[in-house]
Amino acid sequence: MPKPKDAFESTYPCEFYTPEELLEPDLMYTVPEIARLLQGLDPDATIDEGTEAVLVDWAIPWIMKNAADLVIAEPLEEDGPGYYGLAADGGDGT
């Protein structure tokens, strides 16, 4: 149910990291690792499943919005996750 703005003590600008601010140029990350980074956590931080699910819900739109600045890689294992990283030259996949 929507809440009136005055129900909140304060509000903040909705600002997100750019891919260049968030990701190391020579590394590839899974969606959960990106989700942790967006919250200021280490990519390998241990968090509970419920928290991870919420963080992933934030990470997926961020990945979609920044797709032009990212590259993707196939999973390293058949049933493993895909990986995302910074595009070397602004998004052509090389």
Q: Is 85 helix (H, G, I), strand (E, B) or coil?
A: strand
All residue ranges of the chain with pLDDT < 50 are 91-94
Q: Which amino acid is at 61?
A: P
The torsion angle over the Cα atoms of residues 52, 86, 80 and 49, rounded to 10 degrees, is 0
pTM exceeding 0.95: no
pLDDT of residue 92: 47
Distance from chain centroid for Cα 61: 8
Q: Is 73 helix (H, G, I), strand (E, B) or coil?
A: strand
Nearest to 28 by CA among 79, 88, 68: 88
pLDDT of residue 93: 47
Q: Where are the domains of the chain?
A: 24-86
